[in-house]
Amino acid sequence: MTDRLRAVRHRFATTLLPPLPPEALGDVRLLPHQRQAAARLLAMLERHRGALLADAVGLGKTFTALAVARQYAHSTIIAPATLVTMWQAALLRSQQAAITVHSLHQASVKPLPAFADLATGSSAQHQRVLVIIDEAHALRNEQTARYRHVAQAVAGCEVLLLSATPLHNRPRDLEALFALFRGHHANPLPRHLLATLIVRRDRLQEIPGHAGTTGGGLAGKSPARGPRAAPPAQRVHRPHPIAQHPGPLDRLLALPAPLPARHGAATGALIRLGLLRAWCSSDAALTHAITRRLQRAAALRSALDSGRHPTAHELASWLVGDEATDMQLGFPELLVEHALDTPHPPQPMIEVLERHAAALRALRDHHRATARADRLRAAYIRRIRQCHGEVPIVAFSQHTRTVEALF
């Protein structure tokens, strides 16, 4: 970088960036990137009465937010119940123990206090109340009691949202968060306004014009000094092949399409994919998956014989119990709302259902006669345990039946 470019960047930073807050926060020394974020957030709060701090995990959002709260006469915090103790410890370190921490989960069952009532005095500074909301993405659904209670509690306050998950499924999710301080009348949110409401950094960066670099060290602590510890040595093992009999795969791929539930679409490809994933996990997982499909087919046939055509939700509630003791309820007239248009089930529907069930039973019987892979999987796990002695070993599996069978 040329000297001229450095000078331009320095002039830009010192001219446009707001003044940085003090470095000391109680017994915590703020890192440069935390002070820069706090300065930007204070400017946003002054202009828009709210902002979102969406720094990546590990950049110290907690102490950045408390550096902002230090500029207010009245502040409070709303955080998930599991993080209340963490916030209380951070308040002690920053010498702001007078700030109260409220449980976000408590807002799901009862209203929170009206935080605007914290304001006292006649000066403008004493009239400003800051509410910090941690894990703010939990409030993206405006239809919940939690959202309504929080919205009522922060009315008239300035709101600082914290979230390491700023991206949501819909733009409406972000609009719901910003409506906590902008109000619903301001939606939809203009795209150009996002940059003026969000502070997010994925990694520590050096900002010209401010002392020190922001690389290294945990947020809220001094940067690491001296040589860093080397990462642990890793040894990559070759994968162990599992020999599978080709017969079940051929039968699985040839499964005829099932009879869909009421208002449902034919999902033959998805069913085959689910059975294939179970088969790749273990013999036991595939056996259990086939059993569940046969139970579903039997429930659907029972409903059809009673002149009813259940929805997917009704079929899902038909099977009760845990995976070890699945049982099927009777009385389809009570469980299924929709009746068939004819007094007897149409023959084409019965044929589709029976063809699929017969193929499942053939797949189950063939698999039981040829399954050998679980013994080989167990032998590999035993060998790994023998090679590593008393070292703890963690094995991952998607299917509960796989864990049970190998155990």
Q: Among 168, 199, 230, give the residue marking a domain's end.
A: 199
Overall number of domains in the chain: 2
* Whether pLDDT at 106 is above 50: yes
Closest CA to 143 of 110, 168, 176: 176
Q: Does one domain contain both 257 and 195?
A: no
C-alpha distances in Å from residue 388, one per residue of 108, 239, 382: 48, 17, 10
Helices 246-253 + 268-281 axis angle, to 10? 160
Within this chain, do residues 131 and 277 fall inside the same structural domain, yes or no? no
Its pTM stands at 0.50
The SS3 of residue 131 is strand
Q: What is the mean pLDDT of residues 350-363?
A: 92
Residues ≥6 apart with Cβ < 8 Å to 364: 287, 290, 291, 294
| Domain-embedded: residue 208 | no
| Residue 209 belongs to a domain | no
pLDDT tens for 294-311 read: 988 888 888 888 787 877
Residues 171 and 263 in one domain: no
Pair 140, 58 in one domain: yes
Query: For the chain, what is the mean pLDDT?
Result: 79
> What size, in residues, is the chain?
407
Whether 384 is covered by a domain: the verdict is yes
**173 φ, ψ to 5°?**
-65, -45
Within this chain, do residues 167 and 265 fall inside the same structural domain, yes or no?
A: no
Same domain, 272 and 146: no
Asked if the structure places residue 29 within a domain, the reply is yes
Is the model's pLDDT at 111 over the cut of 70?
yes
Any idea what the CATH number is for the domain that residue 128 is in? Answer: 3.40.50.10810
Whether residue 398 sits in one domain with residue 275: yes
CA 314 – CA 339 distance, rounded (Å)? 13
Q: Kindly give, in sequence order, each residue whose CB lies less than 8 Å from that of residue 371, ignoring residues fewer than 6 positions away.
A: 245, 248, 283, 286, 287
For residue 214, the model assigns a pLDDT of 34
| Same structural domain, 396 and 330 | yes
Least confident of 69-83, 265-279, 283-297, 307-321: 307-321
> Is the per-residue pLDDT at 222 higher than 50?
no
* 399 shares a domain with 321: yes
Q: Judge if 251 and 166 occupy the same domain.
A: no
Q: Are residues 259 and 176 in the same domain?
A: no
Name the residue range of residue 373's domain: 246-406
DSSP output for 292-339: HHHHHHHHHHHHHHTTB--BHHHHHTTEES-TTS-EE---HHHH--PB
Domain's final residue, options 144, 173, 199: 199
Looking at the fold, whether 89 and 190 belong to one and the same domain comes out as yes
Please name the amino acid found at residue 124.
A
Instruction: Pick the range with the lowest mean pLDDT from 39-43, 153-157, 181-185, 290-294.
Output: 181-185
Asked if 215 contacts 223 with a C-beta cutoff of 8 angstroms, the reply is: yes
The dihedral of CA 398, 399, 405, 407: what is its sign? positive
Residue with tokens 């800051």: 130
Res 257 pLDDT > 50: yes
Q: Which band of pLDDT confidence, cut at 50, 70 and 90, is reported for residue 95?
A: very high
